[in-house]
Chain A
Amino acid sequence: QKEVEQDPGPLSVPEGAIVSLNCTYSNSAFQYFMWYRQYSRKGPELLMYTYSSGNKEDGRFTAQVDKSSKYISLFIRDSQPSDSATYLCAMSVGDGNNRLAFGKGNQVVVIP
């Protein structure tokens, strides 16, 4: 079983829809959870960073972590064509070696 599972299937939504992305993981030691956004032919950039279980909101983006289920989610409200990108989840133990475990990424296309 891979440490982080993220269904890489592409997702197409109409502008204004809610985008829902998720990852599951197997390592219960993970405590820090991230979502990276990667535009086509660019490097990934950090979008959201959360610690332990709970919700974090930043504008139209909400990150949720459920450690009991080993499940994290990213929601994008009122999606815009500029949100079209690949979204990668990442997580770490926080033991100082800074090793991140990445999901495979979800390609999201927001159709105007």
Chain B
Amino acid sequence: NAGVTQTPKFRILKIGQSMTLQCTQDMNHNYMYWYRQDPGMGLKLIYYSVGAGITDKGEVPNGYNVSRSTTEDFPLRLELAAPSQTSVYFCASSYPFTRTSGSTDTQYFGPGTRLTVL
């Protein structure tokens, strides 16, 4: 059971280039999330998905796109990379929380992708 895996670990992009950050989970979680983490700024939600085919914006979606064609995969697409997108990107997944199911809001995080845009 690998949990949440992310590729690549590191990437340097030039301004205007595009790339896709990959995220896969093998825990059969319905919910998946993309965050960015800047030094001293905590985690900011970019996009999230409650199931295959369903995605929604978080608090900082501009400049990013996502898709969710399967339960396992949730790629994040950067179009026209900008220096402001230099950050560490984390993917996470969780079960849907219900008070009666015994599940929790716990989110399981991947190891992150360090992206630099020059």
Give residues in A with beta carbon < 8 Å to B.
6, 8, 32, 34, 41-46, 49, 88, 92, 94, 96-100, 102-105
Contact = CB atoms under 8 A, between A and B. Distances in A.
A105 B42 contact: yes
A49 B50 CA distance: 22
Most chain A CB neighbours (cut-off 10 Å) among B48, B94, B105, B106: B105
Nearest to B44: A102
Interface of B: 4, 31, 40-43, 45, 48, 50, 90, 92, 94, 96-99, 104-112, 114
A100 B104 contact: no
Given A98-B31, A98-B97, A98-B107, 6 more contacts: A42-B111, A88-B42, A98-B105, A100-B107, A104-B40, A105-B42
Given A34-B106, A49-B106, A98 B96 contact: yes
A44 B107 CA distance: 9
A92 B106 CA distance: 10
B112 A34 contact: no
Nearest to A95: B97
Given A41-B112, A44-B90, A98-B107, A104 B97 contact: no
Contact of B105 (A8, A45, A100, A105): A100
B33 to A, nearest CB: 8
A42 B105 contact: no
A45 B90 CA distance: 12
14 contacts: A32-B105, A41-B114, A43-B90, A43-B109, A43-B111, A44-B43, A46-B106, A46-B107, A92-B97, A98-B97, A99-B45, A100-B105, A102-B42, A104-B41
Contacts of B4: 43
Contact of B112 (A42, A46, A88, A99): A42
Contacts of B43: 44, 88, 102
A49 B104 CA distance: 9
